[in-house]
Amino acid sequence: MEVVICRSYDEISKAAAKEIADLLNTKPDAVLGLATGSTPLGMYKELVRMHKHDGLDFSQVTTFNLDEYVGLSPDHDQSYHYFMHENLFKHINVPPQNIHVPSGTAKNHKAFCAWYEQRIKDCGGIDVQVLGIGSDGHIAFNEPTSSLGSRTRIKTLAKQTIEDNARFFKSAGEVPIYAITMGVGTIMEARKLLLLANKKNKAKAVADMVEGPVCTMCTASALQLHPDAMVFIDEDAAGELKMKDYYKWIQTKKPGAPKSA
């Protein structure tokens, strides 16, 4: 796992967007795995800027989102369909038929989940998966104790997640209790993972993910087993890392890094 400690949220967003732009410049028909939440918003803004000003082309791109609330229709302003449309899709040239977000309103959830998994395979697998992290260490909606081999399915949200996400709804009572989410096993099959985290409230989850044991109590810890996982964090989110100085040292010694005195 490569831990990159950035000076600001802006730097996290730009570094993550650059990873995606570099991929699209070498593989224009790449398959992107996308995430919601407040953390990737800056990265999406940067991708939109690159599309509008630098001609970054999404015309051959396919996307798969991690998760969706069960019961929210795509036009609900807190659905992840709506989030993605407002913050990314409507500003770039990705063909609508290439966009996949799990359905929160499918009648047969089990069949939908199996279809979603198959569709990822049929599209050649995910090249880069963007991830945030919940304050309880979850990735997508894989709450603590989710199997590290899990596939796309319905999950019951943890109380902590409902409280964390209540800020986007009128009250905690309005946050859906169930979500449809890619599994940890599904996420781990992506060829590259980019996890973004900022702010102090993520410091413990980040430390558990990077330096804790690989275990279901922090599903993000599965990233330790991935051959190509990058973690972009700010100083606040890095606050509880024991090996923080080492991660910084590594970055200064990378080829092309600015040489310090």
State the nearest-atom distance from the C-beta of 148 to ligand GLP, in Å. Answer: 17
| 56 versus 65: smaller Cβ distance to ligand GLP | 65
5 binds ligand GLP (CB under 6 A): no
State the nearest-atom distance from the C-beta of 235 to ligand GLP, in Å. Answer: 17
Q: Which stretch binds ligand GLP (CB under 6 A): 33-41, 113-121, 204-212, 219-227?
A: 33-41
33 binds ligand GLP (CB under 6 A): no
Just list the catalytic residues. Answer: 67, 136, 138, 143
141 binds ligand GLP (CB under 6 A): yes
Among 20, 72, 133, 210, binds ligand GLP (CB under 6 A): 133
State the nearest-atom distance from the C-beta of 132 to ligand GLP, in Å. Answer: 3
DSSP secondary structure string for all residues of the chain: -EEEEESSHHHHHHHHHHHHHHHHHH-TT-EEEE--SSTTHHHHHHHHHHHHHH----TT-EEEESEEETT--TTSTTSHHHHHHHHTGGGS---GGGEE---SS-SSHHHHHHHHHHHHHHTT--SEEEE---TTS-BTTB-TT--TT--SEEEEPPHHHHHHHGGGSSSGGGS-SEEEE--HHHHHTSSEEEEEE-SGGGHHHHHHHHHS-SBTTBGGGGGGG-TTEEEEEETTTTTT-TTHHHHHHHHHTSTTSPPP-
134 binds ligand GLP (CB under 6 A): yes
Number of residues that bind ligand GLP (CB under 6 A): 14
| 59 versus 156: smaller Cβ distance to ligand GLP | 156
- Let me know: does 67 contact 101? Beta carbons within 8 Å: no
User: 6: which strand partners?
Assistant: 234
**Contact characters 59-98, ligand GLP, x per CB under 6 A:** -------xx-------------------------------
| 46 versus 67: smaller Cβ distance to ligand GLP | 67
State the nearest-atom distance from the C-beta of 260 to ligand GLP, in Å. Answer: 32
186 binds ligand GLP (CB under 6 A): no
Single out the residue of 23, 67, 11, 60 nearest to residue 192, CA to CA: 23
- What residues make contact with ligand GLP under the rule CB under 6 A? 35-39, 66-67, 132-134, 140-141, 161, 165
